[in-house]
Structure formats: structure tokens, C-alpha cells
Structure 1
Amino acid sequence: MFHGYPRQIEAQPPGNVKYKYEEVSRTGPYARQSGTYTGYGDVHSLLTDFDDRLVVFGSGEEVALEFDPHSLPAVPKNWTRDYFFLANGYEKDMDFYTAEGATVEPLPFRNMGTYPYPGKSFPLDDKHLDYLLNFNTRQMSGNEPQGYWYDYSQRK
């Protein structure tokens, strides 16, 4: 879902950047790639396997994950528990030198070799077609009106 752009806080030493997740701007200095994005809603089934079915989302959007830690054993006194999040995916920015940077497509896939993948195409068997038709349902032109500035004013 679209969350927006959290306020960025520059700390010391330089490069020590933090974000205030609760202070959000709905606009920011980011363009959006044209193409088909994953529809908003439950994407759990796209997150359970390392396969070619990925959540396609753009700037300011998020996937919110929750889990219940109560089934884990208690930690010893004065200890803290850390969590490790393992993600498998791809990032594609709109840098001038990025191949196909203005569009979401072509989508990456595990056996592509290189990106872009000349002479190959995204797999189109039943499983992959089901993914494309039932999950990637949100078409964005890349020209949606937006401000190219942050606005953190309070909204009620």
C-alpha cells in the first residue's frame, strides 16, 4: 500500500540517516516507472517462496509484515532478541544508466542470466500467467500528477 515518504533525519557522523516513520509526506521528489504494479492487498502468497512471483511496488509504497513472537522461547535475563529479515528480490531505479529504467517491465526472473535478457522472455507458463493476471493489476502511466517536494504538514 502507499505509505508516503517518512521524514529523513540526518545525524552525526555524516551518512547516519534515520527516518521518522510516523511523519509522512504524500509527495516527494521521485518519479514513477510506467508499467504494471502489484495490486494493493494481501500479498502473503507472493512472499513465501523464492520464485519469480514478486511484489512489484514503487516509491513511497510498503509491504507491512507482522508475526507473533509469543511462540518463541523467552530470552535470558538482560538479553535482547534480534530479528533477521531475509528478502529475495530485485531493485530497479530510474538512473540514466539503468537498463529499461523508465518502465517496470521487463520483469526479472530467476533463470534470466543477465538483465535485460536479450533473446529470452519472462516465463509464460500457467503459474507465471496466473501471477501476472491476478496479482499485477495496478497500471501506472508514470505521469501521475504529484508534487516533487516533501510536505510534512499535519493532516487531520
Structure 2
Amino acid sequence: MVKLTSIFFSAALVVSVLANPLVGRGLPELQADFTTIKSQATALEARITRYPNSTGSLADARAIHTATVNLDNTIKKTTGCVAQSTAAIAGVEDFEPVIIKALRELINKKQSFVRNGSTATVKSDLTSFADNCAKLGGALVGITHPSKQQQAQAAYGRFETAFDAAIAAYS
């Protein structure tokens, strides 16, 4: 059986080599990054939602992997670019429900991943993606004006809770 190197939220080795934070970007670039993240998260969520509960194929899993890598790369790039707290919080809150829904769908579709033998990879990918989202959350909280700290921490907390549940489901 061909082992997938990752299905969800990884490509850690390639991305760690290629991902250099881009500093000095302005608000328009940040907003464009958030739009891209939402679009990629929506595409990923749609693929996961369409993934069958009991007959998911390796090809379907690989398509999910490709969507995951695209999203993961964009999030890594954006982590070093967060510059405006209000725009950053709004951007995160815009794509947050999509990612949380995708994580819930992964929990719901676990048996299909069990059947095709890819649960260990899913867990590894989830862990990688959770780590990168934690870095994005830390960057968001770090640049946020003190008056917005609680809002930024709450947004990050919702991601953390959703990732914890998904990772626990695959543990």
C-alpha cells in the first residue's frame, strides 16, 4: 500500500525550507492573504465534506492533501505578515468558521480514513496544521493592540479547541 506522506495540513519539510516570513507588507497584502486563506479553506472543507463516509479513495485523500498543503503554505506565509490588529482579527474571524467546519467534518469522517489506512497521516497533518495555526494565533495576539487582545485570544482559543478535538479523535 502506498503510504501518503501527508493528507492534512503538512508538507512541513518543504514548507519549512521555502517559508520565509515576509515582513513589511501592508494592509492590502494582508487582506489579500486572508481572502486566499478563506478561499483555500473553503476548497478544503468542500473536499472533506464530499469525502465519503465509508468508501473514501486514496485519490480523494490525495486531493484533500493538495488542498491542505496549499492552505498550510498560505498560512505560514501570512504568519510573518500580520501587521494590523483590527484587520487581522477580522480576517481570521472570516475564515475561522470554514476551518472549524472542516475539522468537524474530519471527526465525522474518521471511519472512512480508518478504512483506507490513513489515520496516522491525518493525525500528523492535523498536528502540523495546528502548530502553524498556533504560530499564526501567537503572531495575531502579539501584534494586537491591547484593547483588542481579548478578542484576538478568543479567536485563537476557538481554533485551539477545534484542533484539540480533531487531534483527539485521531489519537
Structure number with the higher strand fraction is 1
Whether these two folds match at TM > 0.5 is: no
TM-score bracket for the superposition, by shorter chain length: under 0.3
